[in-house]
Amino acid sequence: MPSYTAPIKDTQFILHDVLKITEAQIPGYDELEADFTSAVLEEAGKIAGAVLHPLNVVGDTEGCRLENGVVYTPTGFKGAFDQMKEGGWPGLDMPERYGGQNMPYVMGTAVGEFFSGANQAFTMYQGLTHGAASAILAHGSDAQKDTYLPKMVSCDWTGTMNLTEPHCGTDLGMMRTKAEPQEDGTYKVSGQKIFISSGDHDMADNIIHLVLAKIPGGPEGIKGVSLFIVPKFLVNEDGSLGERNGVSVGKIEEKMGIHGNSTCVMNYDGATGFLLGTEHKGMRAMFTMMNEARLGVGMQGLAQAEAAYQNALAYAKDRLQGRDVTGVKNPDGPADPLIVHPDVRRNLMDQKSFAEGARAFILWGAHMLDKAHRASDADADGLISLLTPVIKGFLTDKGYDMTVQAQQVYGGHGYIEEWGMSQYTRDARIAMIYEGANGVQALDLVGRKLAQDGGKHVMAFFEMVKTFCKDSGDMSEDFIRDFIDPLKAASKDLQAAGMYFMQNGMKNPNHALAGSNDFMHMFGHVCLGLMWAHMAKSAQAACDAGASDAAFYETKIATGRYYMARQLPATALHLARIQSGADTVMALDAEQF
């Protein structure tokens, strides 16, 4: 059985040593003293380790079941969900007005990693609710907010996102679900939606479906899509639950992983829907959910990698196999632990340096989002908008790879379900797909975000890297060699790739798009390189200041060195691929394949 321990110390290090959140001029951040965040993280860590994690394997093994139209979650899920609600966790970063605790998003993200790492399938029930509530918060009328938000913030009612239909996912303009206007101002929603995470279940009194549909007679394609609130049970004026709405579960999908989450086919048969936001502007409203959801999914990539790593590390320390070629390390035992072997180290260091770098990246991203939303910082908004596809795509691609590497440490034991390592890879696999498959993230980055506002945000990113390097000029020679020089080189590669796109993408957009996946990955590497340089600098400062826990900070610096030496050079390969252009990629006609 795998185990899970919330990485509280690491999170605290990022919040306070690296991001220095209490010094940020953002409303609500001044309350985030280290003692306070420590208390919050400790509590979250407890529930993650003691309540959610033990149900992870249960969820995988039992899955959800549909009986006579009712969806049942795995044994123990409901009790755990009630505990989460009692602790007020679902509303941690929601407005007080609706019953939330109004903490910044950075805190929601920090604890979200713990919950996701402990049990991704379970945590999705509240994660989707959070996204749906955010959309209502941003686009709903006051009446809608008052009706739905208090119940959703507490998770008495949960939420879903309904986009995909059998014949269309990415290309939602082809959507067929329709919403017929009624005389009373409501709509009758009819159609089939698939892949609906947390689509139905037995843990909440009501489920608030946000459904994309077309109002007949509206504009063609994506411009004629509107967003509707379709509750499972209609809500009476006094807030009590009324009659059952015309929405039902067609089936629960059999999936590769996240078995504990009920991924449903949802059938809408003239269900009563309420327009959310403006007619035909449904995509804009949906994107409020999607951008938040994409950061959340990037965080899942990290969370599964961290959880898998913890177990791989424990196994590598425990399992005796072979001898250290440089000298026996465990003379009293029949063999040395796996961790003595250089290739096992290489594997573990890949995982460790990814997880810690990714954590800094995701918390930095959440911090940017707080800056944008709470301090109305347009630059921060532009930067996080640019980097959202990088966070989602890079962290989930790499996060998945890391779960595969963690599984590899176990040898044959990694392949049998008994040890739980297979579940990490099977669960992590979905994050590369949902909320926009990673190819779509790369397209969003290169085809849209890069040129947004005249390329202002990507310029700001490079400026940020440059400023950091300049400000680090007084660091030691070793630091410059190990951190600043590689960061500069990688950033230069990234700029060269952007330049290639500018010079060649005009002539033929395929020259840019054929390199989009490589660009997303090299951007991710530069971001993690920047985070590692930041972390190492902060760790060095702590050491210089005589921190009592010097070993912690020295480990941080050593782990950063690994990333800079062994991972960051990947930017050169990505650049080479990009600069080879689209010709070899597009050479064949479809029939020639």
Cα distance between residue 535 and residue 364, in whole Å: 12
**Is there binding between residue 442 and a second copy (CB under 8 A)?**
yes
Q: Which residues 218-247 are close enough to bind a second copy by CB under 8 A?
A: none
**Is there binding between residue 543 and a second copy (CB under 8 A)?**
no
Give the residue from 316, 405, 407, 305 showing the smallest Cα distance to 362.
305
Q: Which residues 511-540 are close enough to bind a second copy by CB under 8 A?
A: 513-514, 516-517
Long-range CB contacts for residues 214-218, cutoff 8 Å, separation at least 24: 214/175, 214/176, 214/177, 214/178, 214/179, 215/178, 215/179, 215/180, 215/181, 215/187, 215/279, 215/280, 216/178, 216/180, 218/279, 218/280
**Is there binding between residue 22 and a second copy (CB under 8 A)?**
no
Contacts of 370 (CB under 8 A, 6+ apart): 26, 28, 29, 104, 105, 106
**Which of 292, 306, 356, 435 is the catalytic position?**
435
Binding-residue pattern over the window 95 to 134 for a second copy, x denoting contact by CB under 8 A: ----------------------------------------
- Segment contacting a second copy (CB under 8 A): 12-20, 181-189, 202-210, 402-410? 402-410
Q: Classify 139 in phi/psi space as left (phi over 0), alpha (psi -120 to 50) or beta.
A: alpha
Q: Strand runs (DSSP E) across 464-568, as ranges?
A: none
Q: Which residues 332-351 are close enough to bind a second copy by CB under 8 A?
A: 334-335, 337, 339-349
CA end-to-end span of the chain: 45
Shortest distance, position 198 Cβ to a second copy, whole Å: 15
Which residue in the block uniquely carries the two structure tokens 């008495």?
Answer: 156
Contacts of 424 (CB under 8 A, 6+ apart): 2, 304, 307, 308, 311, 403, 406, 407
Comparison of 277 and 498: residue with beta carbon closer to a second copy: 498
- Cβ atoms of 292 and 128 within 8 Å: the answer is no
Comparison of 272 and 425: residue with beta carbon closer to a second copy: 425
Contacts of 198 (CB under 8 A, 6+ apart): 124, 125, 128, 129, 158, 159, 160, 207, 261, 262
Q: Which residues 259-288 are close enough to bind a second copy by CB under 8 A?
A: 263
Comparison of 245 and 425: residue with beta carbon closer to a second copy: 425
**Is there binding between residue 434 and a second copy (CB under 8 A)?**
yes
Shortest distance, position 425 Cβ to a second copy, whole Å: 8
261 exposure class (CB count in 10 Å sphere: 0-12, 13-18, 19+): buried
- Cβ atoms of 457 and 385 within 8 Å: the answer is yes
Comparison of 254 and 474: residue with beta carbon closer to a second copy: 254
In the chain, the amino acid numbered 268 is Y
Shortest distance, position 367 Cβ to a second copy, whole Å: 27
Comparison of 64 and 149: residue with beta carbon closer to a second copy: 64
Give the residue from 279, 303, 150, 306 showing the smallest Cα distance to 218.
279
- Segment contacting a second copy (CB under 8 A): 34-42, 95-103, 312-320, 369-377? 312-320
- Segment contacting a second copy (CB under 8 A): 24-32, 91-99, 291-299, 562-570? 562-570
Using the rule CB under 8 A, which residue among 9, 244, 317, 466 binds a second copy? 317
**Is there binding between residue 548 and a second copy (CB under 8 A)?**
no
3-class secondary structure, 180: strand
Q: Which residues 37-66 are close enough to bind a second copy by CB under 8 A?
A: none
- Segment contacting a second copy (CB under 8 A): 21-29, 178-186, 523-531, 548-556? 548-556
Shortest distance, position 1 Cβ to a second copy, whole Å: 14
Q: Which residues 177-206 are close enough to bind a second copy by CB under 8 A?
A: 194-195
168 exposure class (CB count in 10 Å sphere: 0-12, 13-18, 19+): middle
Q: Which residues 487-516 are close enough to bind a second copy by CB under 8 A?
A: 508-510, 513-514, 516
Comparison of 296 and 365: residue with beta carbon closer to a second copy: 296
Comparison of 534 and 577: residue with beta carbon closer to a second copy: 577
- Segment contacting a second copy (CB under 8 A): 35-43, 168-176, 273-281, 296-304? 168-176
**Is there binding between residue 398 and a second copy (CB under 8 A)?**
no
Supply the DSSP string of 326-384, one letter for each residue. Answer: TS-S-TTSSS-BGGGSHHHHHHHHHHHHHHHHHHHHHHHHHHHHHHHHHS--HHHHHHH
3-class secondary structure, 434: coil
Cα distance between residue 295 and residue 234, in whole Å: 31
Comparison of 65 and 317: residue with beta carbon closer to a second copy: 317
- Segment contacting a second copy (CB under 8 A): 36-44, 78-86, 382-390, 576-584? 576-584
Shortest distance, position 209 Cβ to a second copy, whole Å: 18
Comparison of 125 and 195: residue with beta carbon closer to a second copy: 195
List 235's β-bridge partners, or say none.
Answer: 241
Comparison of 239 and 322: residue with beta carbon closer to a second copy: 322
Using the rule CB under 8 A, which residue among 174, 459, 502, 506 binds a second copy? 174
- Cβ atoms of 321 and 338 within 8 Å: the answer is yes
Shortest distance, position 486 Cβ to a second copy, whole Å: 10
Give the residue from 78, 237, 238 showing the smallest Cα distance to 158.
78
Shortest distance, position 545 Cβ to a second copy, whole Å: 20
Which residue in the block uniquely carries the two structure tokens 């379709």?
Answer: 230
Using the rule CB under 8 A, which residue among 85, 178, 255, 373 binds a second copy? 255
435 among known catalytic residues: yes
| Catalytic (active-site) positions | 435
